[in-house]
Structure 1
Amino acid sequence: MPKNAGSLKAVLYALGANGGIALAKAVAAFFTGSGAMLAEALHSFADCANQVLLLVGMRQAKQAPTPDHPMGYGRVVYFWSMMVGVLLFSIGGLFSVWHGSRALLHPEPVKYLLPSLGVLLVAMALETVSLRGALQALAPERGDKSLWRWFRETRQSELLVIAGEDIAALVGLSLAFVALLLTALTGNPIFDALGSIAVGLLLIAVSFAVTIEVKSLITGESASPEMRAAIAEFVASQPEVERVVNLITFQLGNQIAVAVKAKMVKMPSADALVSAIDDVEERMRARFPDLHWSLFGPDAGSSPATSTDLEAHRQGMAPP
């Protein structure tokens, strides 16, 4: 299954779950007047908007390369992921903190607490389904890594955002549930206001974590350490290659570009050397389907020939 197919499935899971959750929370917030419930409703509506933005980014990333964008549009998904992080901070986090602070200064009774608690339990179940879908989508890349290590190393920004949102949603729902439960047990609406503030602070923290990671991707990251090592090992194992001198990878959304400098075995002519490099690149792209662009240059001493053909090959990107 293509890598982006798992991401698309996770985004659609999250969009469906958050749409239903947002409506349920909004109805509960309207009838109860709960600040924590309103914060959760806004969080879910913001999540729906975020997932739509991710779908827009994933669609735009599929555009074919153009003269102005010769390496395609794969990185555009990073821009939309950054927008999601900003929206999560501004709409979800800041508003929740503001609303909770306002309720803290001017507390009002919270009504229909038992139905609200029921809505939160249903929402937690739906968010669990959404998070499970995200975890299944990232499982092939994650392997045996911890979730935090995967979060720091993944190059799939859309999965990073979905997983972060779903985890924040489950923790936020738990905070809202505890806040409403304490309000129900004590009759003190201060707990509800504190719950709203806690949810907002949680969203701000997750927003910062997501934005920092996506900023690194926008700035430009290599392929994952495992992918870099696998490509280097594969190139070094080719019969035409004596040793790998240097290898640089660059992540372009779900695509990878690679630049290789290798000392080749002695070849009888420049044409034979060019043909050997072409063969290695072809096998490399067959072995790594995400590798869409390669720049392969022979190290000095690979062949006694120094023809213009070799220079042209060093300078040219080889698309699939």
Structure 2
Amino acid sequence: MSANSEGSTKAIFYALGANGGIAVAKFAAAIFTSSGAMLAEAIHSTADCINQIFLLVGIKEAKRAPDASHPMGYGRVVYFWAMMVALLLFFLGGAFSVMEGVERLKHAEPLKNPMVALTVLGISVVLEAFSLYGAMVEIRKISAGKNFFQWFRETRQSELMVVAGEDIAALAGLAVAFIAVVLSVVTGNPVWDAVGSIIVGCLLMAIAFFIIREVKAMITGESAAPEVNEAIRAHITNHPQVDHVINLITLQWGEQLMIAVQAKMRPQGSDKALVAAINEVEAGIQSQWPQVKWCFFEPDTDRTDD
């Protein structure tokens, strides 16, 4: 297992443990308090647990060996499971919360035992913060000094991106639910609780949208992260056997990377010497970037040389 995969798996287990305990507590609190916002949060936490299981399935399936039908392996299957998670977060987490809030607006009921709800929400904040902290620790290991938003836009690790997005959505949703319950208690108006449920749902759908957009780009086919792309180009260009790079294509394939190089080589004494020079360049690339699973190298000339 690579370091990146191990970090993602750790973050997923942090989130799964936290959300499992939170979901049980929230459902109990929702029953005791008749809080729509609390019920929405409980369903959201349950959806998160399912999401983390999906991500673990994706990571395991991505490790399958290549076969005749999938000669390049199953690495990109993690993007499919990440998309499933995002859709589940959107519909089961977000849309259901909005519908529950609308229903509570139509049939508002006073809260029962609001202190139970507030206590559970407070504990949930601590557990979700722990989960988010675990994800951020893993992100900092691989972000190369980028801020979170830049990393989120440029990362090719769909599973870690999804976990971080879920945790941020969960913390923001908990804050909204806490405020909604407090306002319902202070004003004696249960409408605030329903409004809180609707806001939580809209928040979840908004974050799910951003995750879907990023995962869609990965499924379509993205290059390696910009800094990796440039580093590989510089490495090839600076090789003593290479005159210059004509074209370089990189394609992220789950954790692995495929590259296609078109380069003008320096003059070689024979075809065997040319092959040896190309093999040397490829070996150097795969030594420095072990995630490069496939390297297709085409020696060529500039059109002006023809």
Same fold (TM over 0.5): yes
User: Letter of the aligned partner of 1:74 in structure 2?
Assistant: G
| Structure 2 residue 201 is matched with structure 1 residue 200 | yes
User: Letter of the aligned partner of 1:49 in structure 2?
Assistant: I
Deviation at 1:144? 2.4
Deviation at 1:148? 1.5
**1:1-320 maps to which residues of 2 (within 5 A)?**
2-300=3-301
- Taking the aligned partners of 1:194 and 1:142, their CA distance within structure 2 comes to 37
Q: 1:167-204 CA distances to partner (integer Å, 9 max, x unpaired)?
A: 00000000000000111111110110000000000111
Deviation at 1:156? 0.5
- Taking the aligned partners of 1:296 and 1:200, their CA distance within structure 2 comes to 50
Q: Percent identity?
A: 54
Secondary structure of 1:295 counterpart: strand
Size of the alignment, in residue pairs?
A: 301
Secondary structure of 2:245 counterpart: strand
> What's the TM-score, normalizing by structure 1?
0.92
Secondary structure of 2:243 counterpart: strand
Give the stretch that moved more between structures: 146-155 or 167-176: 146-155
User: Letter of the aligned partner of 1:117 in structure 2?
Assistant: L
Gaps of 5+ in 1: 302-320
- Taking the aligned partners of 2:101 and 2:229, their CA distance within structure 1 comes to 47
- Taking the aligned partners of 2:239 and 2:149, their CA distance within structure 1 comes to 35
Deviation at 1:124? 0.3
Secondary structure of 2:252 counterpart: strand
Give the stretch that moved more between structures: 59-68 or 48-57: 59-68
Q: 1:78-136 CA distances to partner (integer Å, 9 max, x unpaired)?
A: 00000001111111111100010010111001111012101101100000010011111
- Taking the aligned partners of 1:134 and 1:48, their CA distance within structure 2 comes to 15
Q: CA RMSD in A?
A: 1.0
User: Letter of the aligned partner of 1:8 in structure 2?
Assistant: T
User: Letter of the aligned partner of 1:120 in structure 2?
Assistant: L
> What's the TM-score, normalizing by structure 2?
0.97
- Taking the aligned partners of 1:237 and 1:65, their CA distance within structure 2 comes to 33
Instruction: Give every structure 1 segment of 4 or more consecutive aligned residues whose post-TM-superposition deviation is greater than 6 Å.
Output: none
User: Letter of the aligned partner of 1:140 in structure 2?
Assistant: K
- Taking the aligned partners of 2:225 and 2:253, their CA distance within structure 1 comes to 12
User: Letter of the aligned partner of 1:98 in structure 2?
Assistant: M
- Taking the aligned partners of 2:141 and 2:82, their CA distance within structure 1 comes to 21
Deviation at 1:300? 2.5
- Taking the aligned partners of 1:66 and 1:290, their CA distance within structure 2 comes to 19
Secondary structure of 2:248 counterpart: strand
Secondary structure of 2:104 counterpart: helix
Q: 1:272-316 CA distances to partner (integer Å, 9 max, x unpaired)?
A: 100110111111101001111100111138xxxxxxxxxxxxxxx
- Taking the aligned partners of 1:243 and 1:140, their CA distance within structure 2 comes to 33
Give the stretch that moved more between structures: 132-141 or 154-163: 132-141
User: Letter of the aligned partner of 2:272 in structure 1?
Assistant: D
- Taking the aligned partners of 1:86 and 1:147, their CA distance within structure 2 comes to 22
Gaps of 5+ in 2: none
- Taking the aligned partners of 1:75 and 1:298, their CA distance within structure 2 comes to 29
User: Letter of the aligned partner of 1:189 in structure 2?
Assistant: P
Deviation at 1:2? 1.5
